[in-house]
Amino acid sequence: MQPAEARFNKNSLLLALRRYSLAVSDMEQTILLPSLLRDLPSDELWDCEAAEETCTDLYDNYLMLKAIRNTVESGHVPLDDHKAKNSTALNKSLEPLLDADPEVLFRFHLKGLFSVMGDLTKKTQSLTEKYMDIIGVAN
C-alpha cells in the first residue's frame, strides 16, 4: 500500500479510514481495563440529546468504536445491521433526492463518510484521554 498511499493528501477517504483504525488501536492499547468505563455517562463524548442510543455509558461507546473499526478494516458493508431502523429514517428523509443525480450522491456519501470518520477519530481520541484521566495518568 505504501506507494499508493504516498500520493494521498489529507482529504483522502482511505487515509481517514486508516487514521480511525490507528486511533482505535491506540485506544485498545491504552485502555487495559475497559470495565473501568462502565456506568460512566458518555454525555461529554456524544450529543446525548440528539442520540439517545449512544448515550448509555463509556463502555458501550468503547465497544461501538471497536465494532466500527472492524467494519472499516473488513471493508464489509453491513446491508442489514441492527441500526437499520435509524438508517431507514435517514433514507426516508432523502427519498426525493435519492434518485436525483448519481454524481451528486457519490460526492455526498464520499464527503459524508470522510466527515464521519474524522468525527469518530476525535471521539476515539477523547475516550482514550478520558480513560487516562480516570486512571490518573497525565497526557
**Chain contacts with a second copy (rule: CB under 8 A):** 1, 7-9, 11-16, 46-47, 50-51, 53-54, 64, 67-68, 71, 74-79, 81, 83, 86-87, 89-91, 93-94, 96-97, 99-114, 116-117, 119-120, 123
Closest by CA to 39, choosing from 58, 64, 66, 62, is 58
Residues 6 or more apart in contact with residue 42 via CB below 8 angstroms = 48, 54, 55, 56, 57, 58, 60, 61
Radius of gyration (C-alpha) of the chain in whole angstroms:
17
Residue 51 vs 135, nearer CB to a second copy: 51
Shortest Å distance, C-beta 16 to a second copy: 8
Half-sphere exposure of 27 (CA within 13 A, CB side): 30
Shortest Å distance, C-beta 32 to a second copy: 24
DSSP state of 56: S
Terminal-to-terminal C-alpha distance of the chain: 32
Residue 100 vs 137, nearer CB to a second copy: 100
Shortest Å distance, C-beta 91 to a second copy: 8
Residue 39 vs 91, nearer CB to a second copy: 91
Residue 118 vs 135, nearer CB to a second copy: 118
